[in-house]
Structure 1
């Protein structure tokens, strides 16, 4: 039985290729594969995964379907509604405070990461660079970039959960 980490190692690139062929967009495929791997790694491990490859692929396909549904809902709303929503939405003060607290927690979690891990994560999430572009910029392999980003996501989510009110 493979551990979730081995699942990521064995099937990640294959999954990116599969999704890329179906979506016609490698960047989107990498994002979905990454999110699927994070979900698999974060799942409650009380039940063993009998068919790890199928489980990972199904998780990724579910993410594709969810994204498609969100996209359809957004397209169905008239532009005037979206414009009104954005122009007149005002978050309550408490929500703003919670947002600032979350940003502070995220900043602290990122500061706990190694420099290469933090750089990989920020280059991907803030600058939108591909894994290959990040690997070239940091002079590391694509595999190292993938691992760094997954580790950064796991670490940040763990820290956010630890700080969440019960």
Structure 2
């Protein structure tokens, strides 16, 4: 199970507290047939990660902890584009833990809190475990959580496939 100090995230009001917002919880684990140090370096490099995220574009690396970009997603009949920023609140290379928060505005609003942890496997591969809470408001919140969950699962599978193709070659 993921652990870590989530205090700064707890003190910030969640987007879900706003009227009409929807909270989506995502928990995923996947394996990459690559050493943990290679996976860590890849997943903590915004330029590498954004190339694997469907619909995402990196606009600016502000500093080593803050990035700005855009993401677009289509869920059923609703297409939404967001412009925002993400902050790496925790990057613990020794324990291979990461915590990221992001906020975006555009066709509604969105915010995200993500915690991740990597574990070295006996076969030389790496297990990655991620848990995220995403809050969406506006038209996207009207689509329905089941459809959003279905699309988020599909996007996650595409992300993992792209990460593996980069690291397992």
TM-score normalised according to structure 2 size = 0.31
Q: Bigger radius of gyration, 1 or 2? A: 1
Higher helix share: 1
TM-score normalised according to structure 1 size = 0.32
Higher RCO (CA 8 Å, separation ≥ 6 residues): 2
Higher strand share: 2
